[in-house]
Amino acid sequence: MSEDQDTPTTDHDYDGIREFDNPLPTWWLVTFFATIIFAFHYWIHYEFGGGMDQKAELSQDMAQIQQLQHNHPASLDTEEDLQKLAGSAEIISRGHDLFGAKCAVCHGPELQGVIGPNLTDEYWIHGQGRLTDIALIIRSGVPDKGMPNWESQLQNEEIRALTVFVASRKGSHPVNPKAPQGEKIAN
Amino acid sequence: MKAVNSLVEDIYYDDDIVKKFILATLVFAGVALAAGVMVALQLAFWPMNLNSEWLSFGRLRPLHTNAAIFAFAGNAIFAGIYHSSQRLLKARLFSDFLSRVHFWGWQAIIVAAAITLPLGYSHGKEYAELEWPIDIAITLIWVVFAVNFFGTLAKRREKHMYVALWFYIATIITVALLHVINSAEIPVSAFKSYPVYAGIQDAMVQWWYGHNAVAFFLTTPFLGLMYYYLPKAANRPVYSYRLSIIHFWALVFIYIWAGPHHLLYTSLPEWAQTLGMVFSIMLWAPSWGGMINGLLTLRGAWHLLRTDPIIKFFATAVTFYGMATFEGPLLSIKSVSSVGHYTDWIVGHVHGGTLGWNGFMIFGMLYYLVPRLWKTELYSVKLATAHFWTGFLGTIAYYLSMVVAGITQGLMWQAMTPDGRLMYPDFIETVTRILPLYWVRAFGGILYLAGFLLMVYNLYRTIKGAPVSVPEKVRVVNTRDVTAVETGHRGLEGAVTVFSVLTFLAVLVGSVIEIYPTLALHKYLPPSAQVEPYTPLELAGRDLYIREGCYLCHSQQIRPLASEVLRYGSPSTAEESMYDHPFQWGSKRTGPDLARVGKKYPDLWHYRHMLNPRVVTPQSIMPNYIWLATNDTDFLVLRKKFSVLKNMGTPYSDDQVANADIHAEKQAKEIAKSLEAQGGPSGLERKEIVAMIAYLQALGQKAKETPK
């Protein structure tokens, strides 16, 4: 084989295996040195050169996010806005599905109450049972009492759909309702 | 080189031990691959967990990884090392007796692992799950292997060690070091122990071990095998001796530092993370040195690629090695890690290496060895070629599906709406999105397994058709005592002890510099840190969490990234895990992070969720843990557990130790009562589920002041 003649070779022979002694490929050496130089720079930049640490980077990002959230409050929905949605069968059915997936485990599939209170009766622990009240409690939850905060887990649209769905079941008298909790709200 | 006292001798190689290890490789490869297909199916289709305590994902997954690494790759490595070393050293193995002890001891360890892992005896440290009696057995057998190997080196008839042997030496020394340091643990009972390290220490030691298990169990021995079998099969000289020297030392020295790239953005001190990242980047070229030397050795033999399945397997294996060792440094870059970590991208990366590199090297080696050892022809070259293509397609399907799944999910976790909120706040949505890819992955695994079965059949027919083999005399020339004056590396290649000591020092430097400082844990905690250790019932629950392998699907480490803070709460701190023996930060989020899940839900929610996650999250892929509601908690052992932890520095009072069981029973009654009050069943106070709930509710609640 012709190429063998110009490649530098060694006299090594191990169980029939011979070894050439080709020079290191230049591109390989360049890569190796480049990574070493990069590594030193990176190390010095972050350890001694005042490169931003993870905490600092996080607080910068969080400040930006808070600004964004501040500029776009979660919901400016008024009672009227929500009322407009309350007639839509499509939205109510969306809310129904979501309720089955997220809420039924605590409030029961018929909203009759299990861990959480019955949501169909006239008694409310929080607020007056208005649409905005329901939306608010779904959003912020009562973490100490076992009602999760859903704002971080659901989209605005989803919270709206849940709100109108819950309101639509008022007075539906499910079987085996949980005993009333909170205050009776006359309306 | 001229041998002065050249001596001709007739000797016998011990090929019987090589055959034994080959057969063991075939048996356990089947187990490892079948277990892999099973866990892949469990993720695609949760009912495959079969509602079985012994076969649920968290218990089978360690069985899969341990079988793949230590049984499949392990037996293959021993076969290849014992076969090639005898020939490279022109000497029969040091001791037939030690060879057999090594073989049967190792198989006993594997069987012990296959029994204890499904039973839930586990350390909770990835790739080091086996409990302390087995850890001791591994150490002993490894010493037997070392004595046998170095003994053979001592009686060699060849003056110099060929590059393959350098890699074997590095393997034997470093694996011993890794295993002994990482397995330091204090027994509580026959099959339960706690690691001596806690929190960030344990994390540092574990990933120093985990990463270098990949380096020194799945890389260096395979490079050694490549250096022997590839030039042999291609009948071509090795491309560059010089490159061998440079890439060997660079690889051994640099690899050992890279462990912390598994812990980027965790509460590990940042200097250690940065070291892990920069050394990973520097590792790229040394790794590619091995690939270049392998591929360029095939110059002049490329025509064999079309006809010879062995060359197909080797060339493809080396190419996968090159891909994986490029992807590794890439994934170590912090910003890439922030997307890829905890996702299936890492799983894809690993399998590119294991299926493509380790698996294909082994298959090529077996097709080379079996006909030669049994002195016959391969039964069917066509079948071997079919094996190659099925295995190749399987690997590609596996790799691509997981990379796409990982990047998709990683980006979904981070995606934000323009008004500063998470785009996919509901975790399960990011799971259902990639479920189809889990099916593709399982399909890839099945293909790979099918290819393997073709090989088993092919080799079975080969061996069956072979003549009765009698050991064959080999004529060797003793060239050990040459008088040439040698300098530099060539001299080193004739000096086993010096070479081994230098190798040891090369891996020691990085190990000491990274691990030693974290042993002084307190330096890294704010002086105001006040963390309450677990109550006895919570500890019992924690041990269940470890037993069930929850850490294989859940992390407990919130990274300081905005999207994580929005999803899970403030970043995890070093003090929060300071009493965690072992740490349970996890490395994969098939389910959400649990670091702050405590108090998020009422007790009854957890009760229902643990028994059937679908009740709460209809699309969940988490297994049912029904046996937690029927098994009783072992309260009495808690005293012993507390006293072991107290001895290791957890601040428990004497009363807490002496009455651990009483305190636990008291807390269990309270939780059982609250479950009943919320509408759950009664009479749960002695059941394991109550301990598990106690633990889950304690997560993120132990630091006096939840960090902001």
Q: pLDDT tens digits for B249-286?
A: 999 999 999 999 999 999 999 999 999 999 999 999 99
Assigned domain for A45 exists: yes
**Is residue A102 within 8 Å of residue A165, measured between CB atoms?**
no
Q: How many CB atoms lie within 10 A of CB B484?
A: 12
The predicted-structure confidence for B599-632, as pLDDT tens digits, reads as follows 888 899 999 999 999 988 889 999 999 999 999 9
> Could you tell me if A8 and A83 lie in one domain?
no
Q: Could you tell me which of B274, B272, B254 has the C-alpha nearest to residue B520?
A: B272
Most confident range, picked from A2-16, A105-119, B26-40, B463-477: B26-40
What is the band of A1 on the pLDDT scale with cuts at 50, 70, 90? very low
- Whole-prediction pTM: 0.92
- Mean pLDDT over A35-50 rounds to 93
Q: Give the model's pLDDT for residue B105.
A: 98
Distance from C-alpha of B492 to C-alpha of B590, rounded to nearest angstrom: 49
The C-alpha of B580 sits at a distance from chain A's nearest C-alpha, in angstroms, of 23
State whether A80 and A124 are in the same domain: yes
B239 contacts A22? CB cut-off 8 A:
yes
B127 contact A CB<8A: no
Closest CB to B239: pick one of A20, A39, A68: A20
Domain ranges of chain B: 7-514, 536-698
Angle, alpha carbons B74-B77-B81 (nearest 5°): 145
Q: Which pLDDT does position B485 carry in this prediction?
A: 76
Is B644's pLDDT higher than 50?
yes
What stretches of B465-576 show up as alpha helix (H) in DSSP? 488-492, 496-519, 536-547, 562-568
The answer to whether the CB of B32 falls within 8 A of the CB of B67 is: yes
Cβ distance B241 to A10 less than 8 Å, yes or no, reads yes
In tens, the pLDDT along B293-323 reads 999 999 989 999 999 999 999 999 999 999 9
Q: Are B391 and B447 in contact (CB under 8 A)?
A: yes
Whether the predicted pLDDT of B3 surpasses 70:
no
pLDDT in tens, B458-494: 999 999 999 987 888 999 999 888 777 788 899 999 9
The pLDDT mean for chain A works out to 89
Distance CA B324, CA B318 (A): 10
Query: Is residue A84 located within the same domain as residue A168?
Result: yes
What's the pLDDT at B23? 98
What per-residue confidence (pLDDT) applies to B162? 97
Q: By the CB < 8 Å criterion, does B2 face chain A?
A: no
Distance from CA of B500 to the nearest CA of A (A): 20
Whether A60 maps to a domain, the answer reads no
Residue A4 pLDDT greater than 70, yes or no: no
Residue A12: inside a domain? yes
Q: How far apart are CA B608 and CA B697, in angstroms?
A: 14
Clarify whether residues A48 and A81 are in a common domain: no
Confidence of residue A115 (pLDDT cuts 50, 70, 90): confident
ipTM of the complex model: 0.91
Query: Which residues of chain B lie closer than 8 angstroms to A105, CB-CB?
Result: 605, 608-609, 615-616
A154 and chain B in contact, CB less than 8 A: yes
Q: Please report which confidence band the pLDDT of residue B4 belongs to, taking 50, 70 and 90 as the band edges.
A: very low
Q: Is the pLDDT of residue B442 over 70?
A: yes
Overall fold of domain B536-698: Cytochrome Bc1 Complex; Chain D, domain 2 (1.10.760)
pLDDT grade for A15, boundaries at 50, 70 and 90: very high
Predicted confidence band of residue A71 (pLDDT cuts 50, 70, 90): confident
Which pLDDT tens digit goes with each residue over B504-526?
999 999 999 999 998 887 788 88
Query: What pLDDT was estimated at residue B518?
Result: 86
A139 and A173 in one domain? yes
| C-alpha span between B637 and B399 (Å, rounded) | 44
Phi, psi of A9 (to 5 degrees): -130, 165
Q: Which residues on neighbouring strands pair with residue A17, listed in sequence order?
A: A14
In a domain, A66, yes or no: no
User: Which residues make Cβ contacts (< 8 Å) with residue A137, sequence separation at least 6?
Assistant: A126, A127, A147
Average pLDDT of span A15-30: 95
Rounded Cα gap, residues B693 and B608, in angstroms: 11
Interface of A with B in 36-95 (CB under 8 A): 36, 38-40, 42-43, 46-47, 53-55, 57-58, 61-62, 64-69, 71-72, 74
Q: Does B602 touch chain A (CB under 8 A)?
A: yes
Q: So what's the pLDDT on residue B6?
A: 59
User: A62, B565: Cβ pair inside 8 Å?
Assistant: yes
Q: Give the per-residue pLDDT at B2.
A: 44
State the number of CA atoms in the 13 A half-sphere of A37 facing the CB: 6
**Claim to verify: residue A108 and residue A168 sit in the same structural domain:** yes
Residue A140: the pLDDT is: 87
* Beta carbons of B241 and A12 less than 8 angstroms apart: yes
* Mean pLDDT, chain B, integer: 95
Q: What is the mean pLDDT of residues B152-160?
A: 95
Q: In this structure, are A93 and A158 located in the same domain?
A: yes
Instruction: Between B210 and B618, name the one with better pLDDT.
Output: B210
Closest to B358 in 3D by CA, of B316, B306, B399: B316
Note the pLDDT of residue A152. Answer: 77
Which residues on adjacent β-strands are paired with residue B12? B473
Residue B163 Ramachandran class (φ > 0 left, ψ -120 to 50 alpha, else beta): alpha
Write the burial class of residue B468 (CB in 10 Å: 0-12 exposed, 13-18 middle, 19+ buried): exposed
Question: Within a domain: residue A123?
Answer: yes
pLDDT score at B15:
96
A48 and A80 within one domain: no
Q: Within an 8 Å CB–CB cutoff, is residue A148 touching chain B?
A: yes
pLDDT of residue A2: 40
The CATH classification number of B7-514 equals 1.20.210.10
Q: Domain count of chain A?
A: 2
Considering only CA atoms, which of B507, B502, B577, B497 is closest in space to residue B542? Answer: B577
Residues of chain A in contact with residue B601, where contact means CB-CB under 8 angstroms, are: 146, 148
- The domain of A161 spans 76-184
- Residue A145 pLDDT: 84
Given B275, B418, B601, which is nearest A146 (Cβ)? B601
- Chain A residue closest to B299 (CA)? A3
Band of pLDDT at residue A70, cut at 50, 70 and 90 = confident
In a domain, A142, yes or no: yes
Are the Cβ atoms of A47 and B243 closer than 8 angstroms?
Answer: no
Q: Per the domain annotation, does A125 fall within a domain? A: yes
Instruction: Work out the percent of chain B whose per-residue pLDDT is above 70.
Output: 99
CA distance B283 to B289: 10
Residue A101 and residue A176 in one domain: yes
Q: Are A44 and A11 within one domain?
A: yes
Residue B94 confidence (pLDDT) above 80: yes
Query: Residue A144 belongs to a domain with what CATH number?
Result: 1.10.760.10
**pLDDT at B447 > cutoff 50:** yes
Q: What is the mean pLDDT of residues B99-122?
A: 98
